[in-house]
Amino acid sequence: MAARKSSKPKSTTTPEYRAYEKRYVEMGEDRPKLTPEEFEQYEDELLDLLALQDQNMTDDDIVRIQELEYLLIDAE
């Protein structure tokens, strides 16, 4: 008896990544499309930077936040 092919694996992407994919379709034509792993990494980095108190944030931190928001198509 032949082995039965398994159906398409269930999606392991997060709701946040799926929301990013929707934003990418709507607004991301000039931006690189992130993989789920890249998205998670950049989102974590962004959250860490946003957790800094304003007085502890450097100019480089602010620039990096802007870069991450651009890549993540963060509309908030």
Percent of the residues in the chain that have a pLDDT greater than 90, as a whole number:
72
First to last CA, the chain: 55
Residue 8 has pLDDT above 70, yes or no: no
Instruction: Tell me what pLDDT residue 13 has.
Output: 86
Percent of the residues in the chain that have a pLDDT greater than 70, as a whole number:
83
- Domain containing 75 equals 33-76
Tally of domains in the chain: 1
Q: Residue 27 and residue 8: Cα distance in Å, rounded?
A: 28
Query: Is residue 42 a part of any domain in this protein?
Result: yes
Query: Is residue 16 a part of any domain in this protein?
Result: no
Instruction: Tell me what pLDDT residue 2 has.
Output: 53
How does pLDDT run across 49-62, given as a tens digit for each residue?
999 988 889 999 99
Query: Is residue 65 a part of any domain in this protein?
Result: yes
**Cα–Cα distances in angstroms (integers) from residue 2 to residues 6, 7, 9, 60, 68, in the given order:** 12, 15, 20, 59, 49
Query: Is residue 14 a part of any domain in this protein?
Result: no
